[in-house]
Amino acid sequence: SSTKVAISGAAGNIGYALLPLIASGYVFGDTVPIELRLLEIPHALKSLTGVKMELEDSAYPCLSNVLCTADPLEAFDNADCIILVGGFPRKKGMARNDLIQANTKIFTEMGAAIDEVASPNVKVLVVANPANTNCLVALNEASNIPTKNFCALSFLDHQRAKAQIAKRLGVSTARVKNVIIWGNHSETQYPDPLTDGYCIRDDGSEIPLVSLLKNDIEWVTNDFISIVQNRGKSVIEVRGNS
């Protein structure tokens, strides 16, 4: 039988980029049939139908079916994996915590629907910001689902920190390892390259980042932290949207 994967906000920029990866077999394996459940708000259903048409036109061998709906109960029915991308969009001048009030209602509804109809073994990934808070709101409404099955995505913060270190050292990002993000996915996060971070040399050996950055501690503890904490806001100010 097909693995049922539900994605909220599926017609948005993130959903549009994510869907081909899932449909192609890149995420779950190229021998696993996938049934996509695409969830959107009512006024985005026309756009979502266009996304479905493109998925069909791509003739992905793994893709067994695509459902478009504005009803979370329909989208999440017996779902094996749910990716919550949809949320109130972050706009210019907004911090992640500005989104909490708007998104609490959305993720309360999502969590209740998951609890009511999803597979008891469903895995839930929350992408919409503030991801940690939205994840907590959803899991609190889903008492029938193990807490460990909920995860908030903060990988982007890790990649931002890694990129800044690589840029500072003049090396490839592939050489920078074990950068840590402590705390919430917000402006209170603490990016930490020094505790366990290291860089891979040309000969394959490892050198701790604390050694490479020992003369640059002021940048690490000030500018670096601020850049990573506020990178999303900075991107939005330049691009004009999230």
Catalytic amino acids? 185
CA 157 from chain center: how many Å?
A: 10
**Residue 186 and residue 95 in contact, taking contact as beta carbons nearer than 8 Å:** yes
CA 56 from chain center: how many Å?
A: 25
User: Residues near 57 by Cβ (< 8 Å), separated by ≥ 6?
Assistant: none
> Which residue from 62, 70, 73, 71 is spatially nearest to 36, judged by alpha carbons?
62
DSSP string, 106-164: HHHHHHHHHHHHS-TT-EEEE-SSSHHHHHHHHHHH-TTS-GGGEEE--HHHHHHHHHH
> Which residue from 203, 189, 159 is spatially nearest to 177, judged by alpha carbons?
159
